[in-house]
Every structure is written in C-alpha cells, then in structure tokens.
Chain A
Amino acid sequence: MFIEIQHINKIYTDKDNNANTVLEDINLEIPKGQFVSILGPSGCGKSTLLSMIAGLTSASSGGIIVDGKNVQKPGKDRGMVFQEAALFPWMTVTENVVFPLRKEMNKKQAIERARHFLQMVQLSNYAGHYPHELSGGMQQRVSIARSLAMDPAVLLMDEPFGALDEQTRSRLHGQLEKIWIDTQKTIVFVTHSIQESIKLSDRIVVMGTRPGTVIADIEVDIPRPRDEHKQQVAALEERIMGLLKGEIDKVINEELAYEARS
C-alpha cells in the first residue's frame, strides 16, 4: 500500500501524571491517488494522526510508511496545509511558493514553477502581493500552491477550510476537487464537517473519541460532482450522523461531568 499506518498508539501524560490515550491501535492503508477524509469530533486525535504522517509528531508506538519509506521526520514528500495558511508574512506570494524549491532548482526555474502552481489556484495576478494583502481564502490557496509546487507524494490537509466563511469554503471545495483530479495526488484530509467529507472524498474514515479509534471506514461511491446527487449525499450524511451521535454525546457528557466536578 502507498500509505500504511500500523498499530499507532499515542499516549501522553498530563500535569497530574494521568496517562491519556489520544490514539489507540490505529491501522489504515491508503492506496495511491485516493482522496481520503478523516472525520471525527474534536479531541478524537485526527489532527494528531495527520501530524504523525507529516513527521511533526511522534507516536508512542507503531509505525507509518509512506511510499515505502518509514516516516521519521518531516520531508518534502509530504506536503502539509494547515488550518491557518502559515505563509511567511515577510515574503511575497511568489517568494512563499519558491521557499520549498529554492535548494533543488535555480531561481528562474523555481519562479516559473511557482507561477504554474499559482495559476492552478487562480492567483497569478497576486504573485507580487504580500500575504497580509490577501483574504483568508486567497492565503489558503497560496498555501495549497506552495505544497503542490514541491510535488509531494501525498498532500496532508488539516481542516484547511475550517476558518473560512461558507461561500469561500464551497468555492475552494470545487477548486480542490479539480486540482485533485488534474494532479492525481493522494490527499489525506482531516475535517469535522460531515458534508465536507462527503462532498470531497473517495473514502471516509470515521473516528471516535477517548480514546481515538477508527469506528467506521466508508467507501463513498456517489458519482462526482456530488452536488447533483443530493439524495445519496443526504442518506450517507444521515448514516454518518448516526455513527457520530454516540461519540458527540460522549464528549458532551464528559464535559458536563467535568463542569459538575469543578
């Protein structure tokens, strides 16, 4: 398999020395070119799992293999898009996209490549602007272009549209879907939005919380574009809602119990 996640456990001890299990025995196999969403309520460890694939967080036990290589540290074969655009404010849009390229090609090639990917996210006209001059949605598109420009084997996205307004999010869904079809990249997409995961992905991995485990692994066989198949989308949405209902209740009950104690 292209990405293999094997027996991942993540346990951390809080300041009272209590062991908290964030992730428990996660096993996933993701084939090349698949668009897979990891869906779950907040606190289920989905972002932690993504961060482990990126090599930014280490697991307590277990291993992750991407394209035959064991993940030890971050690398350019795994592009990451964060919830905030994480653009460097002292660089122009082009300089930001050139940043990961500057060591492996000359300046002219790098700028040419940056231009190509900025075109892909329809931001060629903003190449010389600074990030603070762009809207949140535009910044996020630059961030996607920056990740794609280094030609990663897999694109990791951590709630990339979570901080955007509804209209912008919906437009970016369309753009991302098109980019995925054009580039054939493997995409691992973390979200807490059921609609978002159904709209975009081939497959939805539903995670439960405390500890974080995989509670369902759903193939989405609704034809694209999915806006045209509202009934099937609604049916799947209801099914996932049913799966998550218990999990969300669990979170709320725990929070209520915590508040009652304190």
Chain B
Amino acid sequence: MKPAVKRLIFFTALILFWGLGSHFELWHETILPSPFSVWDALVAGFADLTLVYDLVASFRRLFIGLAVSLLIGTALGILLARSQTADETIGSMVLALQSVPSIIWLPLAMMWFGLGEGAIIFVVILGGTFVMTLNVRTGIKNVNPLYIKAARTMGSNGIDLFWKVIIPASIPYLVTGARLAWAFAWRALMAGELLSAGPGLGYTLRYASDFGNMALVIGVMVIIGVVGAVVDQLIFQRIEKNVLKRWGLES
C-alpha cells in the first residue's frame, strides 16, 4: 500500500472517531468541539477574510524574520568556521543561545521595539539564526579535505577556493540549516503572536480562546500544523533530498 493511501485511511479514521465521539457526547462540545464545528469556524473565518489577513500577516513576519536570520546565520557561521578565536568565544555563546527558546526574549524585545511588529520579528530572527549559524559552521568545517587538495592542485586558493569549492561543498548543511531555521522561526512566530497584538494566526488563536470559541482555537491549530507540515515536507525536504542525491550523500 502506498504511504499516501495509508495516511488517508489514518486521518479519515481519526476524524471519524472524533466526529462519532462528539455525536454520542463522549465529551462535551465546550471541551472538545466536533469536527463539524471546527470546519464551520474555519469556513466562517475564511469567508469574512479574518483568517486570510492572519495568514498574510503571519507569513509577512515569517519571511522577513527568516530571511534576516538566514543572512545573519550564514555570516556568523562562516566567521565561526574560519576564525578559531571567534569559534572559541562567540561559538560557545551561540551554543548557549541555541539551547533556549527564543520566546524568552520577548519581554526585552517589547522594551526595545514596542509591542508591535518589531518585537515579534526580533523573536523570529533569534529563533532561526543560531541553528543556521551552527549548521553553516559544521558544513564548512566538514568539507571533504580531498576537494580542497584537488582544488589546490588546480591552482585554486584563497577567496576563489572558498567561494568556488568550500561553500558549494557545504550546501547540504546549508539546506538542512535553512530547514531547521524555518521550523524554529515558525514556532517562535506562533509563540510571539500569542503574546502580542494582531492580526496573526497566534493572535487569533488567543482571541478565540479569550471568547471561549474552542472551535476556532482548534481550527487555527489545524492551520498552523498544516502550514508547518506542508512547508517542511513539500518544500524543504524535497530540496534537501535533491541536494543530498546530487552531492552523492544519499545513503
């Protein structure tokens, strides 16, 4: 059986169980709304465009934040890979920063940038930057020494060697770094939006929760999950797979 078919059967069964449970009142509608209520809430949300505005606003923050974090992460990663001193000082700080959820920066970010866009984007940037940094660093450090030797016997050295051989050779790590940065940035964005002003998916989630609209809460959760899965599997994993194949790293 194809994985897609298995998946279809699984999700159908899950929703069926959920629907039947609601129908026979195994749980109360206010605690866990039925799939039909969630569907209605989603339809209503898209019909009056609030969810569309939320998606646009969330994606705008995500793209800005992710783009900045990939740029900073790449630059910082190159620095750590090339300078022993930077690696021993900034590197250990990056490792520490990487291990904390970026949302803990929100109180400070709100002091610095106010309650609006700036604070959320700052948290998103922090979410993606460090994982990208560490992957770029590892990628550059793990370039097969044979490529470097071969390139040197062909008259390549210095900057040419770096841009024409070392960077392309570390692209598999760069792609993995970007995929992880996206995942961290997406989580940071949702956390940030939950705690700040709208529009945005996270904001609508909290707004619905404040008004006891659990159907919309679940609806937004579904959107967040679907977006996360689609971007990860359809975009990043596909690119990653192609790159690994081309670079001859596929096991």
Q: Which residues of A contact B (CB under 8 A)?
A: 54-56, 73-76, 78-80, 82, 84, 86, 88-90, 99-100, 103, 130-132, 146, 150
Contact = CB atoms under 8 A, between A and B. Distances in A.
B247 interface: yes
B64 to A, nearest CB: 29
Nearest to B149: A56
A90 B247 contact: yes
| Ranked 8 nearest A-B pairs via Cβ | A100-B154, A86-B150, A80-B153, A132-B248, A74-B152, A76-B155, A74-B153, A89-B247
Nearest to A102: B164
Contacts of B147: 86, 88
A79 B147 CA distance: 14
Contact of B168 (A55, A86, A90, A100): A90
Nearest to A83: B146
Contacts of B149: 56, 80, 82, 86
Contacts of B2: none
B245 to A, nearest CB: 7
B171 interface: yes
Size bracket, chain B contacts: 10 to 19
B169 A88 contact: yes
Contact of A132 (B150, B156, B245): B245
Contacts of A88: 147, 165, 168-169
B154 A150 contact: yes
B150 A130 contact: no
Interface-central residue, A80, A90, A150, by most chain B CB under 10 Å: A90
Interface of B: 146-147, 149-156, 164-165, 168-169, 171, 245-248
A82 B248 CA distance: 18
18 contacts: A54-B153, A55-B153, A56-B149, A74-B152, A74-B153, A76-B155, A78-B153, A80-B153, A82-B146, A82-B149, A86-B146, A88-B165, A89-B248, A90-B171, A90-B246, A99-B164, A130-B246, A132-B247
A56 B248 contact: no
SS class, residues of chain B in contact with chain A:
helix
State the main secondary structure of chain A at its contact with B: loop
B186 to A, nearest CB: 28
Contacts of B246: 89-90, 130, 132
Contacts of B156: 99-100
Nearest to A90: B168
Given A80-B150, A88-B168, A100-B156, 8 more contacts: A56-B152, A73-B152, A76-B155, A80-B153, A86-B150, A103-B155, A131-B248, A150-B155
A75 B146 contact: no
A100 B153 CA distance: 9
A99 B247 contact: no
Interface centre among B150, B165, B245 (most CB of A within 10 A): B150
A79 B168 contact: no
A200 B199 CA distance: 75
A78 B247 CA distance: 27
Contacts of A55: 152-153
Nearest to A99: B154
Contacts of A132: 245-248
